[in-house]
């Protein structure tokens, strides 16, 4: 029954593939340049193998900063070209200027040019091949969804918008009381008796069960799925798939027994992890305050001209365990911006001054929060602290909202680097999903990922 299955790549497999062949393509390109032009700078030998290791680390770090491993970017020609140019430039610069870990300083300008072109061309040709073949429909993951009819649009768009290679081609209506021919876009509506033939004809890779109605899992459907499972088909539960693909918690599909499904990360109570994190937070806070002091004269001049009022802004926020604290910020809005009451800030908020918009985009307005980090009110990474009035409103609508307060709020966080401004309740729900994912999977690796993505946010001027 599995003979018609096509090859596909999971998200993690695609990212590993991109990272590995980025390095291999650059090494091959350097070898070709050395062979054709007597390059001399990058010598291939067993003694200098660590040069390749360092180059691989640089490529992976700067490639992450410039979004080379974002699958949406990797599948877009213009966006990936921009990322290739930036990654090639910065990697070349750092590699050439760190001769302690890399080869000697270049002897002439031609060596610098050859080195840059080798990196750029290696990345460019490999990524062209990736887009033409590996990112094409040939390697899509074809999925069959078992859900209620009213869920189809939400579930399909929710998964496919995150992973461009994840394609739901059909669904089976699990509502045993309905028997219609509803069809959403290209997603075919199947009947139980059509399941076998459709799966074989379309090389379906995975079946995802998302029904929330217990009576939908009828005996015929259960037996059919059991037979397919015994035949080697992958059958997964929707919340697991959603969490893996989107990297956020699908709380809208959990019932009131949410905490049975939400094991907190052990690192939230790991003393060694928390001690190391706290030491790094203090170090980064001191560095940030020093940078802020250096920028302060220029910020003061800009504030005097563009904001015309107080430089600093104090506001009460909700911290760990629901305790309030005072947060420090640079003022970015006009005077008396909330004289009619507290409202959510929006993406193009008319209350934000032109200079304030610059401060927000560059994330400079948050520099004073390094003081909050030193005081222990906040961490460097965590859910963004919200105001008490909004916490109360959101908690009434979202039963799990206050779960965010089990750890310290942060200067940056998983929600901030993955989602834009929370202008509506729906936006706040998505950001809550990201925050809960961080609390559940908190780790050194995830912290480093957030840190690198934060650099991307600043470099691409995407501050909120």
Convert the pLDDT of each residue in 242-291 to its tens digit: 888 888 887 766 655 555 556 677 778 888 999 999 999 999 999 999 99
Q: Is residue 260 part of a domain?
A: no
Domain count, the chain: 3
Q: Is residue 357 part of a domain?
A: yes
Q: Is residue 276 part of a domain?
A: yes
Q: Is residue 5 part of a domain?
A: no
Assess whether pLDDT exceeds 70 at residue 143.
yes
Beta-strand relationship, 312-318 and 234-237: unpaired
Q: Retrieve residue 212's tokens.
A: 């929330």
Three-state SS at 225: helix
pLDDT in tens, 53-72: 888 999 999 998 888 998 88
pLDDT value of residue 379: 94
User: Could you say which of 78, 102, 134 is where a domain stops?
Assistant: 134
Angle between the N-to-C axes of helices 425-441 and 444-459, in degrees from 0 to 180, rounded to the nearest 10: 140
Three-state SS at 397: helix
CATH code, 197: 3.40.50.11060
Instruction: Report yes or no: 224 and 172 within 8 Å, Cβ to Cβ.
Output: no
Whether residue 322 is found in the same domain as residue 233: no
pLDDT value of residue 3: 46
Whether residue 117 is found in the same domain as residue 185: no
User: Could you say which of 188, 217, 246 is where a domain stops?
Assistant: 246
- Residues 213, 198: Cα–Cα separation, whole Å: 24
Whether residue 401 is found in the same domain as residue 451: yes
Whether residue 376 is found in the same domain as residue 443: yes
Whether residue 124 is found in the same domain as residue 156: no
In this prediction, residues 220-229 reach a mean pLDDT of 84
Whether residue 273 is found in the same domain as residue 409: yes
pLDDT value of residue 199: 85
Q: Identify the burial level of 461 via C-beta atoms within 10 angstroms of its C-beta, where 0-12 means exposed, 13-18 middle and 19 or more buried.
A: exposed
Whether residue 414 is found in the same domain as residue 276: yes
Give residues with Cβ within 8 angstroms of 331, minimum separation 6: 303, 307, 309, 310, 311, 312, 313, 356, 365
Average pLDDT of the chain is 82
pLDDT value of residue 124: 95
Whether residue 311 is found in the same domain as residue 432: yes
pLDDT in tens, 90-141: 998 888 887 776 667 667 778 788 889 999 999 999 999 998 888 776 677 8
Whether residue 297 is found in the same domain as residue 446: yes
Instruction: Report yes or no: 203 and 142 within 8 Å, Cβ to Cβ.
Output: yes
Q: What is the DSSP string of 425-439?
A: HHHHHHHHHHHHHHH
Instruction: Report yes or no: 271 and 230 within 8 Å, Cβ to Cβ.
Output: no
Instruction: Report yes or no: 329 and 368 within 8 Å, Cβ to Cβ.
Output: yes
**Looking at the DSSP assignment, which residues form a beta bridge with residue 352?**
333
pLDDT confidence band for 438 (50 / 70 / 90): very high
pLDDT value of residue 374: 95
Q: Is residue 329 part of a domain?
A: yes
Q: Is residue 181 part of a domain?
A: yes
Q: Is residue 254 part of a domain?
A: no
Whether residue 73 is found in the same domain as residue 172: no
Assess whether pLDDT exceeds 80 at residue 317.
yes
Q: Identify the burial level of 285 via C-beta atoms within 10 angstroms of its C-beta, where 0-12 means exposed, 13-18 middle and 19 or more buried.
A: buried
pLDDT value of residue 414: 93
Lowest mean pLDDT among 14-18, 208-212, 236-240: 208-212
Of all helices (H) and strands (E), which one includes residue 372?
A: helix 369-375
Cβ atoms within 10 Å, residue 172: 23
In this prediction, residues 79-98 reach a mean pLDDT of 90
Assess whether pLDDT exceeds 60 at residue 463.
no
Three-state SS at 147: strand
Whether residue 201 is found in the same domain as residue 329: no
- Residues 285, 367: Cα–Cα separation, whole Å: 9
Lowest mean pLDDT among 125-129, 174-178, 184-188: 174-178
Assess whether pLDDT exceeds 60 at residue 73.
yes
Whether residue 240 is found in the same domain as residue 114: no
User: Could you say which of 73, 101, 134 is where a domain stops?
Assistant: 134
pTM, full prediction: 0.80
In this prediction, residues 146-163 reach a mean pLDDT of 77
pLDDT value of residue 114: 84
Q: Which domain holds residue 451?
A: 266-459
pLDDT value of residue 263: 60
Q: Is residue 259 part of a domain?
A: no
């Amino acid at each position: 029954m599995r003979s018609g299955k096509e090859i596909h790549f999971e998200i993690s497999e695609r990212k590993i593939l991109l990272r590995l062949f980025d390095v291999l393509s650059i090494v091959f390109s350097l070898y070709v340049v050395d062979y054709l032009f007597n390059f001399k700078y990058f010598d291939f030998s067993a003694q200098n193998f660590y040069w390749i290791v360092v180059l691989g680390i640089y490529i992976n770090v700067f490639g992450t900063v410039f979004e080379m491993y974002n699958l949406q970017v990797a599948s877009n020609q213009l966006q990936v070209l921009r990322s290739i140019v930036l990654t090639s430039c910065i990697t070349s610069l750092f590699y050439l200027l760190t001769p302690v870990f890399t080869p000697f300083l270049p002897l002439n300008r031609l060596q610098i040019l050859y080195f840059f072109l080798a990196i750029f061309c290696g990345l460019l040709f490999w990524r062209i091949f990736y887009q033409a073949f590996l990112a094409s429909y040939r390697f899509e993951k074809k999925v069959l969804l078992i859900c209620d009819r009213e869920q189809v649009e939400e579930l399909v768009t929710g998964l496919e918008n995150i992973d461009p290679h994840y394609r739901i081609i059909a669904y089976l209506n699990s509502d045993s009381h309905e028997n219609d021919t509803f069809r959403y876009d290209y997603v075919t509506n199947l009947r139980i008796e059509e399941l076998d033939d459709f799966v074989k004809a379309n090389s379906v890779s995975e079946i995802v069960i998302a029904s929330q109605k217990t009576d939908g899992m009828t005996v015929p459907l259960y037996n059919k799925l059991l037979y397919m499972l015994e035949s080697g088909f992958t059958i997964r539960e929707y919340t697991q798939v959603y969490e893996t693909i989107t990297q956020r918690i699908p709380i809208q599909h959990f019932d009131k027994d949410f905490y049975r499904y939400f094991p907190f990360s052990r690192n939230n109570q790991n003393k060694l992890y928390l001690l190391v994190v706290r030491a790094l937070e203090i170090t980064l806070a001191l560095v940030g305050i020093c940078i802020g002091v250096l920028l302060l004269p220029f910020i003061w001049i800009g504030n005097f001209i563009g904001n015309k009022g107080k430089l600093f802004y104090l506001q009460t926020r909700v911290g760990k365990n629901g305790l309030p604290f005072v947060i420090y910020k640079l003022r970015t809005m006009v005077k008396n911006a909330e004289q009619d009451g507290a409202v959510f800030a929006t993406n193009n908020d008319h209350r934000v001054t032109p200079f304030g918009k610059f401060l927000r985009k560059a994330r400079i307005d948050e520099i004073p929060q390094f003081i909050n980090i030193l005081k222990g009110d906040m961490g460097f990474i965590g859910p963004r602290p919200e105001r008490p009035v909004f916490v109360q409103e959101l908690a009434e609508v979202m039963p799990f909202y206050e779960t965010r307060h089990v750890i310290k709020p942060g200067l940056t966080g998983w929600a901030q680097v993955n989602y834009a401004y929370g202008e509506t309740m729906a936006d706040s729900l998505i950001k809550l999903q990201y925050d809960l994912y961080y609390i559940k999977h908190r780790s050194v690796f995830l912290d480093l990922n957030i840190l690198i993505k934060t650099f991307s946010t600043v470099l691409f001027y995407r501050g909120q």
